[in-house]
Chain A
Amino acid sequence: EAGVTQFPSHSVIEKGQTVTLRCDPISGHDNLYWYRRVMGKEIKFLLHFVKESKQDESGMPNNRFLAERTGGTYSTLKVQPAELEDSGVYFCASSQGLAGESYEQYFGPGTRLTVT
């Protein structure tokens, strides 16, 4: 079974540019999550999809971040325009059930974003 994949693995962009991150969850997992880890800090929740619907986007920092999951398969996270504080590692995870139901979340390897 293929795991969660993310593309690109690294991205270096200048402040003001746009970047789009992609996540392919494990096949059959309806739940897809985006998280971010800024250096030295905890992994923070950004948003949660169930199939193609956004269930919870309370962790999205601001309206420069836009996530989509068209067709309920892969997801994209776009940052436009990028700011310096957006640098960090963006993780995608997927699961069969919800965190509150003890379902394990499977994480991808992350995209390391550096904004200069």
Chain B
Amino acid sequence: GQSLEQPSEVTAVEGAIVQINCTYQTSGFYGLSWYQQHDGGAPTFLSYNALDGLEETGRFSSFLSRSDSYGYLLLQELQMKDSASYFCASSNQAGTALIFGKGTTLSVSS
């Protein structure tokens, strides 16, 4: 089967840097996506890595190592508004839909 593992909770303070790891076991791997969800609302897309390496988008960066079946989301200069759940996701074997991890709840304090 396909599964993605990530920590359930992470805490940090404003201005800090936090890394949310994701290890995956999937068939027909296409790439790793990250989504953010505030208060149970609509998950919103953050980033996608198809190839090994680091992708940077503002304060957020995402990394992928296909050989290690591992990726992470790096959040820099944390702000209170970054408190949310973060999900790593990969496509299913058919490449048609997303398989999600259970999500990491990030709490940012002042």
Interface size grouping (class) on chain B: 20 to 34
Closest A residue, CB atoms, query B103: A42
Q: Output the least CB separation between A35 and chain B (Å).
A: 8
B interface, over-half SS: loop
Please give me the 5 A-B residue pairs with the lowest Cβ-Cβ distance, nearest first: A100-B95, A99-B91, A100-B30, A104-B45, A43-B100
Most buried by A among B41, B43, B45, B95: B43
Extra pairs beyond A42-B102, A45-B98 (15, CB < 8 Å): A33-B97, A42-B87, A43-B43, A48-B97, A55-B96, A99-B30, A99-B33, A101-B30, A102-B30, A106-B45, A107-B44, A108-B42, A110-B41, A110-B42, A112-B40
Q: Is residue A72 contacting chain B, with contact meaning CB distance below 8 A? A: no
- Chain B residues whose C-beta falls within 8 Å of the C-beta of A45 in the assembled complex: 92, 97-99
Closest Cβ of chain A to B46, distance in Å, is 10
A4 interfacial by beta-carbon distance below 8 Å = yes
